[in-house]
Protein backbone atom coordinates (compact mmCIF):
# COMPACT_ATOMS: atom_id res chain seq x y z
CA UNK A 1 0.00 0.00 0.00
CA UNK A 2 1.19 3.47 -0.72
CA UNK A 3 1.83 6.00 2.03
CA UNK A 4 -1.21 7.99 1.00
CA UNK A 5 -3.41 4.93 0.65
CA UNK A 6 -6.93 5.59 1.75
CA UNK A 7 -8.80 3.25 -0.52
CA UNK A 8 -10.83 1.27 1.97
CA UNK A 9 -14.50 1.75 1.32
CA UNK A 10 -16.73 3.15 4.00
CA UNK A 11 -18.70 -0.07 3.91
CA UNK A 12 -15.49 -2.02 4.38
CA UNK A 13 -14.66 0.11 7.39
CA UNK A 14 -18.17 -0.07 8.79
CA UNK A 15 -18.24 -3.80 8.75
CA UNK A 16 -14.95 -3.78 10.54
CA UNK A 17 -13.94 -7.37 10.90
CA UNK A 18 -16.43 -8.60 8.32
CA UNK A 19 -13.86 -9.15 5.63
CA UNK A 20 -11.54 -10.91 7.98
CA UNK A 21 -14.25 -13.13 9.30
CA UNK A 22 -15.27 -14.20 5.82
CA UNK A 23 -11.67 -14.85 4.92
CA UNK A 24 -10.98 -16.89 7.98
CA UNK A 25 -14.11 -18.94 7.49
CA UNK A 26 -12.65 -19.94 4.13
CA UNK A 27 -9.43 -20.81 5.90
CA UNK A 28 -11.26 -23.06 8.30
CA UNK A 29 -10.86 -21.25 11.61
CA UNK A 30 -14.57 -21.60 12.13
CA UNK A 31 -15.46 -18.08 13.21
CA UNK A 32 -18.72 -16.57 11.99
CA UNK A 33 -18.71 -15.05 8.52
CA UNK A 34 -20.54 -11.88 9.54
CA UNK A 35 -21.05 -9.72 12.57
CA UNK A 36 -24.80 -10.28 12.53
CA UNK A 37 -24.56 -12.48 15.59
CA UNK A 38 -23.25 -9.50 17.55
CA UNK A 39 -26.54 -7.75 16.94
CA UNK A 40 -24.90 -4.38 16.52
CA UNK A 41 -22.57 -2.62 14.12
CA UNK A 42 -20.27 0.10 15.34
CA UNK A 43 -21.16 3.53 13.98
CA UNK A 44 -18.36 5.05 11.92
CA UNK A 45 -17.67 7.81 11.38
CA UNK A 46 -19.48 8.88 14.52
CA UNK A 47 -21.71 11.95 14.06
CA UNK A 48 -19.44 14.89 14.84
CA UNK A 49 -21.05 18.24 15.63
CA UNK A 50 -19.07 21.44 15.67
CA UNK A 51 -17.45 22.25 19.01
CA UNK A 52 -16.11 25.53 20.41
CA UNK A 53 -12.30 25.36 20.25
CA UNK A 54 -11.97 27.63 23.29
CA UNK A 55 -14.14 25.38 25.44
CA UNK A 56 -12.19 22.39 24.21
CA UNK A 57 -8.89 24.15 25.03
CA UNK A 58 -10.02 24.48 28.64
CA UNK A 59 -11.25 20.90 28.81
CA UNK A 60 -7.99 19.56 27.40
CA UNK A 61 -6.04 21.58 29.92
CA UNK A 62 -8.17 20.37 32.81
CA UNK A 63 -8.33 16.87 31.36
CA UNK A 64 -4.58 16.56 31.77
CA UNK A 65 -5.05 16.62 35.53
CA UNK A 66 -7.69 13.89 35.31
CA UNK A 67 -5.58 11.44 33.30
CA UNK A 68 -2.61 13.21 31.72
CA UNK A 69 -1.90 14.25 28.16
CA UNK A 70 -3.36 11.62 25.84
CA UNK A 71 -6.52 10.93 27.79
CA UNK A 72 -6.85 14.68 28.41
CA UNK A 73 -6.87 15.67 24.74
CA UNK A 74 -9.14 12.75 23.83
CA UNK A 75 -11.58 13.54 26.66
CA UNK A 76 -11.76 17.21 25.66
CA UNK A 77 -13.15 16.24 22.25
CA UNK A 78 -14.96 12.93 22.77
CA UNK A 79 -16.19 13.89 26.24
CA UNK A 80 -17.68 17.06 24.75
CA UNK A 81 -19.41 14.99 22.08
CA UNK A 82 -20.71 12.61 24.75
CA UNK A 83 -22.40 15.58 26.41
CA UNK A 84 -23.55 17.34 23.29
CA UNK A 85 -24.60 14.36 21.14
CA UNK A 86 -24.95 11.46 23.59
CA UNK A 87 -25.06 8.09 21.84
CA UNK A 88 -23.10 6.64 20.07
CA UNK A 89 -20.27 8.61 21.73
CA UNK A 90 -21.41 7.60 25.23
CA UNK A 91 -20.40 4.00 24.50
CA UNK A 92 -16.73 4.98 24.16
CA UNK A 93 -14.75 4.78 27.41
CA UNK A 94 -12.40 7.74 27.60
CA UNK A 95 -9.83 5.40 29.12
CA UNK A 96 -9.25 3.69 25.81
CA UNK A 97 -6.57 6.39 25.32
CA UNK A 98 -5.20 6.39 28.87
CA UNK A 99 -2.14 4.33 27.82
CA UNK A 100 -0.77 7.25 25.78
CA UNK A 101 0.40 9.11 28.88
CA UNK A 102 3.95 10.45 28.68
CA UNK A 103 4.38 9.32 25.08
CA UNK A 104 2.94 5.83 25.85
CA UNK A 105 3.42 4.58 29.41
CA UNK A 106 6.24 7.08 29.97
CA UNK A 107 8.34 5.93 26.99
CA UNK A 108 8.23 9.45 25.53
CA UNK A 109 7.53 8.31 21.97
CA UNK A 110 4.55 10.09 20.36
CA UNK A 111 3.25 13.18 22.22
CA UNK A 112 0.14 12.00 24.04
CA UNK A 113 -1.82 15.13 23.16
CA UNK A 114 -1.34 14.30 19.48
CA UNK A 115 -2.20 10.65 20.05
CA UNK A 116 -5.43 11.40 21.91
CA UNK A 117 -6.59 14.12 19.55
CA UNK A 118 -5.81 11.93 16.53
CA UNK A 119 -7.91 9.07 17.89
CA UNK A 120 -10.81 11.51 18.28
CA UNK A 121 -10.31 12.66 14.68
CA UNK A 122 -10.18 9.06 13.46
CA UNK A 123 -13.44 8.37 15.29
CA UNK A 124 -15.43 11.06 13.50
CA UNK A 125 -13.98 11.75 10.06
CA UNK A 126 -13.24 9.79 6.93
CA UNK A 127 -10.58 12.44 6.24
CA UNK A 128 -8.66 11.37 9.33
CA UNK A 129 -5.37 10.80 7.54
CA UNK A 130 -5.16 14.25 5.95
CA UNK A 131 -6.42 15.99 9.10
CA UNK A 132 -3.98 14.14 11.37
CA UNK A 133 -1.12 14.88 8.99
CA UNK A 134 -2.01 18.57 9.15
CA UNK A 135 -2.25 18.40 12.94
CA UNK A 136 1.29 17.04 13.19
CA UNK A 137 2.71 19.61 10.76
CA UNK A 138 1.06 22.42 12.72
CA UNK A 139 2.20 20.98 16.05
CA UNK A 140 5.84 20.70 15.09
CA UNK A 141 5.92 24.33 13.85
CA UNK A 142 3.89 26.17 16.50
CA UNK A 143 5.16 27.73 19.76
CA UNK A 144 3.67 26.06 22.85
CA UNK A 145 2.09 26.77 25.23
CA UNK A 146 -0.01 29.16 23.15
CA UNK A 147 -0.79 32.69 24.27
CA UNK A 148 -4.41 31.60 24.66
CA UNK A 149 -3.50 28.71 26.98
CA UNK A 150 -1.19 30.97 28.99
CA UNK A 151 -3.89 33.64 29.27
CA UNK A 152 -6.43 31.15 30.59
CA UNK A 153 -4.12 30.20 33.41
CA UNK A 154 -2.95 33.71 34.23
CA UNK A 155 -6.48 35.08 34.27
CA UNK A 156 -7.69 32.28 36.56
CA UNK A 157 -10.70 31.86 34.37
CA UNK A 158 -11.78 28.56 35.87
CA UNK A 159 -10.91 25.85 38.31
CA UNK A 160 -7.94 27.62 39.78
CA UNK A 161 -7.30 24.86 42.28
CA UNK A 162 -6.55 22.41 39.47
CA UNK A 163 -3.58 24.40 38.25
CA UNK A 164 -0.02 23.62 39.09
CA UNK A 165 1.03 27.11 38.02
CA UNK A 166 -0.81 30.30 37.24
CA UNK A 167 2.03 32.05 35.46
CA UNK A 168 2.59 32.40 31.75
CA UNK A 169 5.04 29.72 30.64
CA UNK A 170 7.65 30.51 27.99
CA UNK A 171 6.92 28.93 24.62
CA UNK A 172 9.11 26.71 22.44
CA UNK A 173 8.47 25.31 19.00
CA UNK A 174 8.39 21.52 19.56
CA UNK A 175 10.04 20.70 16.24
CA UNK A 176 9.28 17.05 16.85
CA UNK A 177 6.05 15.15 17.59
CA UNK A 178 8.12 12.96 19.93
CA UNK A 179 7.65 13.63 23.63
CA UNK A 180 11.31 12.92 24.44
CA UNK A 181 12.61 15.44 21.91
CA UNK A 182 10.22 18.29 22.55
CA UNK A 183 10.09 17.95 26.34
CA UNK A 184 13.91 17.99 26.43
CA UNK A 185 13.98 21.00 24.12
CA UNK A 186 11.53 22.99 26.21
CA UNK A 187 13.19 22.09 29.51
CA UNK A 188 16.68 22.95 28.28
CA UNK A 189 15.60 26.19 26.64
CA UNK A 190 13.86 27.47 29.73
CA UNK A 191 15.68 25.81 32.62
CA UNK A 192 12.90 23.61 33.97
CA UNK A 193 13.38 20.07 35.21
CA UNK A 194 11.38 17.31 33.50
CA UNK A 195 9.72 16.48 36.80
CA UNK A 196 8.85 20.09 37.61
CA UNK A 197 5.29 21.28 38.05
CA UNK A 198 5.98 23.79 35.27
CA UNK A 199 6.77 20.98 32.82
CA UNK A 200 3.56 19.18 33.78
CA UNK A 201 1.62 22.40 33.37
CA UNK A 202 3.27 23.03 30.00
CA UNK A 203 2.01 19.62 28.85
CA UNK A 204 -1.45 20.34 30.27
CA UNK A 205 -1.67 23.56 28.27
CA UNK A 206 -0.44 21.73 25.17
CA UNK A 207 -3.15 19.09 25.68
CA UNK A 208 -5.68 21.91 25.48
CA UNK A 209 -3.98 23.61 22.54
CA UNK A 210 -3.80 20.41 20.49
CA UNK A 211 -7.40 19.42 21.22
CA UNK A 212 -8.54 22.94 20.29
CA UNK A 213 -6.71 22.90 16.96
CA UNK A 214 -8.02 19.42 16.19
CA UNK A 215 -11.52 20.81 16.69
CA UNK A 216 -10.76 23.74 14.37
CA UNK A 217 -9.74 21.24 11.69
CA UNK A 218 -12.78 19.04 12.34
CA UNK A 219 -15.11 22.04 12.19
CA UNK A 220 -13.62 22.98 8.82
CA UNK A 221 -13.90 19.38 7.69
CA UNK A 222 -17.58 19.40 8.58
CA UNK A 223 -18.07 22.64 6.63
CA UNK A 224 -16.27 21.12 3.67
CA UNK A 225 -13.59 23.80 3.89
CA UNK A 226 -10.72 21.77 5.33
CA UNK A 227 -7.54 22.30 3.32
CA UNK A 228 -3.96 21.58 4.38
CA UNK A 229 -1.94 24.76 4.83
CA UNK A 230 1.28 23.65 6.55
CA UNK A 231 4.37 22.56 4.65
CA UNK A 232 7.34 20.38 5.47
CA UNK A 233 10.57 22.21 6.23
CA UNK A 234 13.19 22.67 3.51
CA UNK A 235 15.35 20.13 5.34
CA UNK A 236 12.68 17.44 5.37
CA UNK A 237 11.75 18.13 1.77
CA UNK A 238 15.43 17.95 0.86
CA UNK A 239 16.23 14.69 2.63
CA UNK A 240 12.99 13.13 1.40
CA UNK A 241 14.10 13.65 -2.18
CA UNK A 242 15.92 10.35 -1.68
CA UNK A 243 15.05 9.08 1.81
CA UNK A 244 11.38 8.39 1.40
CA UNK A 245 9.11 5.39 1.17
CA UNK A 246 9.82 3.94 -2.24
CA UNK A 247 11.05 1.03 -4.31
CA UNK A 248 14.69 2.02 -4.97
CA UNK A 249 16.87 0.74 -2.13
CA UNK A 250 20.11 1.94 -3.71
CA UNK A 251 18.78 5.49 -4.02
CA UNK A 252 18.26 5.69 -0.25
CA UNK A 253 14.71 4.41 -0.03
CA UNK A 254 15.49 2.08 2.85
CA UNK A 255 13.75 4.44 5.22
CA UNK A 256 10.56 6.43 5.56
CA UNK A 257 9.18 9.20 7.70
CA UNK A 258 8.28 12.87 7.96
CA UNK A 259 10.04 14.02 11.13
CA UNK A 260 12.82 16.63 11.17
CA UNK A 261 15.98 14.76 10.24
CA UNK A 262 18.47 16.90 12.17
CA UNK A 263 16.81 16.23 15.51
CA UNK A 264 18.70 12.91 15.48
CA UNK A 265 20.96 12.85 12.43
CA UNK A 266 24.10 14.85 12.02
CA UNK A 267 26.86 14.70 9.45
CA UNK A 268 29.36 14.49 12.31
CA UNK A 269 27.86 11.15 13.36
CA UNK A 270 29.38 8.57 11.10
CA UNK A 271 27.10 5.93 12.55
CA UNK A 272 23.97 7.71 11.47
CA UNK A 273 24.65 9.59 8.26
CA UNK A 274 28.31 9.24 7.48
CA UNK A 275 30.87 12.01 7.12
CA UNK A 276 31.00 11.49 3.37
CA UNK A 277 27.29 11.97 2.82
CA UNK A 278 26.84 14.06 -0.33
The footprint of its own copies on this chain (CB under 8 A) covers a number of residues equal to 122
State the Rg of the chain over Cα: 21
∠ CA(206), CA(211), CA(176), 5° rounding?
A: 50
What part of residues 141-170 is at the interface with its own copies (CB under 8 A)? 157-159, 162
Taking the complex as a whole, the smallest distance from the CB of residue 156 to its own copies amounts, in Å, to: 10
At residue 94, what are phi and psi to the nearest 5 degrees? Answer: -60, -30
Kindly tell me which residue out of 16, 148, 170, 175 binds its own copies, with binding defined by CB under 8 A: 16
Of the candidates 113, 110, 107, which has an alpha carbon nearest to the alpha carbon of residue 68? 113
SS3 label, residue 34: coil
CB of 120 to its own copies, least distance (A): 8
- The 80-109 contact track toward its own copies, x by CB under 8 A, reads x-xx--xxx-xxxxxxxxxxxxxxxxxxxx
- Interaction pattern, residues 210-239, with its own copies; x per rule: CB under 8 A: ------------------------------
Question: What's the min distance (Å) between Cβ of 239 and its own copies?
Answer: 12
Report the site for its own copies in 31-90 (rule: CB under 8 A).
31-32, 35, 37-46, 55, 58-59, 62-63, 66-68, 75, 79-80, 82-83, 86-88, 90
Distance between CA atoms of 244 and 113, rounded to whole angstroms?
26
Question: What is the total residue count of the chain?
Answer: 278
* x/- letters, 176..215, toward its own copies (CB under 8 A): -xxxx--xx--xx--xxxxxx---x---------------
Q: What is the largest CA-CA distance in the chain?
A: 64
Interatomic CA distance for residues 48 and 80, integer angstroms: 10
Amino acid sequence: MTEEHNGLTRRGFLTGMGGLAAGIAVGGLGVPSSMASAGQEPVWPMPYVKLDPEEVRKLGHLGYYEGECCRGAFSAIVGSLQKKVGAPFTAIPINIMAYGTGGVAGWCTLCGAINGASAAISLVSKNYKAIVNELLLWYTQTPFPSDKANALAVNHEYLVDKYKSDKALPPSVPGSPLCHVNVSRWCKEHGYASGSSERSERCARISGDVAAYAVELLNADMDGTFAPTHKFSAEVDGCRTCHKKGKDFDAGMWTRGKMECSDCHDKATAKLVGPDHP
